[in-house]
Chain A
Amino acid sequence: VITRQFVIVTAILFGLTIAMSVYVSQLRRRELTAPRVHSTAKVEHVAPPSSGSTEQVTLFVAYDDPGVLRAQSVSASLASGRQQRAEGLLRALIGVYTAKNSPHPLAVGSDVRDVFLADPGIAVIDLNSALVDSQVSGVLSEELTITSMIQTLATNISGLTRVKFLVDGKQRDTLAGHADLSEFYDVSQINDQVKELSQ
């Protein structure tokens, strides 16, 4: 025998189910028709906090003529977080390359999208396509870009052992037809390479 109360409870639950289905379908429709803020909005990088302390950091700057790397001490305002600090360091370096009369020119708009730091000692640098598209194609020129970025990070961020590059979040074979981006770079080998490129 089905009691009256049981029928009432079942009817209420059934009604709630229908109502929730309608609500969820409304939410989904709203989501689909709403403008996609993340994909269309221009991503602006947050400036370092003005109250943050300025510090002296060493950048390894590439000079196309005569094809060398030179250590350069600059004053930079960097965030305290390790990851934000790494991004700030690379932006400071790219700033040198995008400036007028740059010793190793890159187009304005060249940027690092993200730097991911993972234990033990791994850094993944995600470059944007503007940087890669404006990179001069050539073995030495591409090596200078890669080496200057890795050495700048390794000098100012302790404990880095291996570095990997992505472009727009994706794996890429080469930087501009030459320098291999398919594998991790070993920081100890980059140290040796910097010695060669500093002469």
Chain B
Amino acid sequence: MRSNSTRTWSLIFFSSVAVIFVLFSFGLILAQTPPASPATQTQPPQVLTPAPPPPTTPPRPLVMIDPAHGGAESGAVLNPTLLEKDVTLGLARRLRQDLTSRGVLVELVRDADVSLSTDDRAAKANAQRPILYLCLHASSETGAVRIFSALQPEATDNHGLFVSWNSAQSASLAMSRAAGQQLAAVLQKSGLAARSLTAALRPLNNITAPALAIEVGPAAAEISKLASADYQQTISAALANSVVALIPTLQSDAGVSR
């Protein structure tokens, strides 16, 4: 009797181990399966969150705006009374207003003077699945707008269920670079000097959507302009027009039907 009971428990134990092993192996195989076609490589990874339910109405494109720095991390000290974190927040609020008035859904990564790590910023942006992520910076170098995409290789081993945090941008990198060039071209047409470049700048590498960092700044002698409402409004309106012009390209790339 006792021997039968022991045998039964042994059988249950080994069966459980076998089931766990089979499930684990299946998970591993699934995780290492490469994407089915090259077309899927250019889309944002579908693995971090479940796919959203089919929309009943055409979705409004969401643009995430991230005013860089904040809280104890002030960014560049542009002059004794002007900190980069304040300029980026002011500009982000104006840009939100300008984009919203043009029918674009906008969310700010921070809407107050708070500290956020670059990982927190990326996690917050990725969770919203935006069509475009814009990180705003300000500096005192040369009177131009500089648009940066991530400095990382386009091809990585991001296959299977999960993507590497440090190269999460790789799937969207080609689109980010194209968007940066288009944005610079539109800004130039509106009379602003603009350049499209690459930079090793967090959290661009960690964003799963097309992601750009925009650095604005007049020449050093005119740095106080950054705090003026007129200058910010000029930059914000030009950026809003450029982003609106960019949205159809982003939507077609993301496969969103309007």
A-side residues, CB < 8 A to B, are 64-67, 136-141, 143, 146, 173-174, 176-180, 182-183, 185-186, 189, 192-193, 196-197
Flag if A180 contacts B201 (CB, 8 Å). yes
Q: Which residues of the partner chain B approach A65 to less than 8 Å between Cβ atoms? A: 141-142, 219
If A141-B141, A183-B200 touch, whether A189 touches B215 (CB-CB below 8 Å) is no
Residues of chain B lying within 8 A (CB to CB) of residue A178: 137, 199, 201
Give complex CA distance A172, B58 in Å.
45
Residue pair B202, A180 in contact (C-beta under 8 Å) = yes
Neighbouring B residues of A143 by C-beta, 8 Å? 197, 199-200
The one of A138, A146, A193 in contact with B217, judged by C-beta atoms closer than 8 angstroms, is A138
Specify the chain B residue showing the minimal Cβ separation from A143: B199
Considering the complex, give the chain B residue whose CB is closest to the CB of A193. B198
- Chain B residue numbers with a CB within 8 Å of A186 are 153
In contact, B139 and A179 (Cβ under 8 angstroms): no
In the complex, B213 has a CB within 8 A of chain A: yes
Q: A137-B77, A177-B75, A183-B200 are in contact. List 12 more A-B contacts (CB 8 A).
A: A66-B142, A67-B141, A67-B195, A136-B141, A137-B76, A138-B137, A138-B217, A139-B213, A182-B202, A183-B166, A186-B153, A192-B198
User: Which residue on A lies nearest to B198, using beta carbons?
Assistant: A193
CB-CB nearest in chain A for B203: A180
Within the complex, the shortest CB–CB distance from B157 to chain A, in Å, comes to 15
Does B242 make an interface contact (CB < 8 A)? no
Question: Within the assembled complex, what's the spacing in Å between the Cα atoms of A96 and B145?
Answer: 27
A180 contacts across to B, CB distance below 8 A: 200-202, 205
Cβ contacts B63-80/A at 8 Å (1 or 0 each): 000000100010111000
Distance of A186 Cα from B137 Cα, bound (Å) = 25
- Assembled-state Cα–Cα distance A176/B75 (Å): 8
Leading 9 A-B pairs by shortest Cβ distance? A138-B139, A137-B76, A180-B200, A139-B215, A143-B199, A138-B141, A67-B142, A196-B197, A180-B202
Report the nearest B residue to A182, measured CB to CB: B202
In the complex, residue of chain B having the shortest beta-carbon distance to the beta carbon of A181: B200
In the assembled complex, B123 has its CB within 8 A of some CB on chain A: no
Given A138-B76, A139-B215, A189-B153, the answer on whether A64 and B141 have CB atoms closer than 8 Å is yes
**What is the bound-complex CA distance between A185 and B142, given in angstroms?**
26
**Total number of B residues with any Cβ neighbor in A under 8 Å:** 30
- B198 contacts A140, CB within 8 Å? no
Interface residue? B148 (CB, 8 A) = yes
Give the contacting residue for B142; candidates A64, A173, A197; CB below 8 A.
A64
B207 CB to nearest chain A CB (Å): 14
Rounded to whole Å, the gap between the CB of B251 and the closest CB of chain A is 27
Q: Is the CB of A140 within 8 A of B139?
A: yes
Nearest residue, chain A, Cβ from B138? A138
Whether the Cβ atoms of B76 and A179 lie closer than 8 Å is no
Query: Can you report 20 residue pairs joining A to B where beta carbons are below 8 Å apart?
Result: A67-B144, A136-B141, A138-B76, A138-B137, A139-B137, A139-B201, A141-B141, A143-B199, A176-B76, A177-B69, A177-B75, A179-B199, A179-B200, A180-B200, A180-B201, A182-B202, A186-B153, A189-B153, A192-B198, A193-B151
**Do residues B75 and A137 form an inter-chain contact, with CB atoms below 8 A?**
yes
Whether B121 is near chain A, meaning CB under 8 Å from some CB there, is no
Cβ-defined partner of B151 (8 Å) among A66, A137, A140, A189: A189
Q: Which residues of B contact A136 (CB under 8 A)?
A: 76, 139-141
Closest partner residue, chain B, to A138 (CB atom): B139
**Within B199-258, which residues are at the interface with A (CB < 8 Å)?**
199-202, 205, 213, 215, 217, 219
Q: Give the Cβ gap from B182 to chain A, nearest Cβ, in Å.
A: 16
Asked if B200 and A177 make an inter-chain contact with CB atoms under 8 angstroms apart, the answer reads no
Least CB distance from A9 to B in Å reads: 63
Taking CB atoms, residues of chain B closer than 8 Å to A138 are: 76, 137, 139-141, 215, 217
A146-B69 contact given A137-B139, A138-B140, A139-B213, CB 8 Å threshold: no
Interface core residue of A64, A138, A179, A192 (most chain B CB under 10 Å): A138
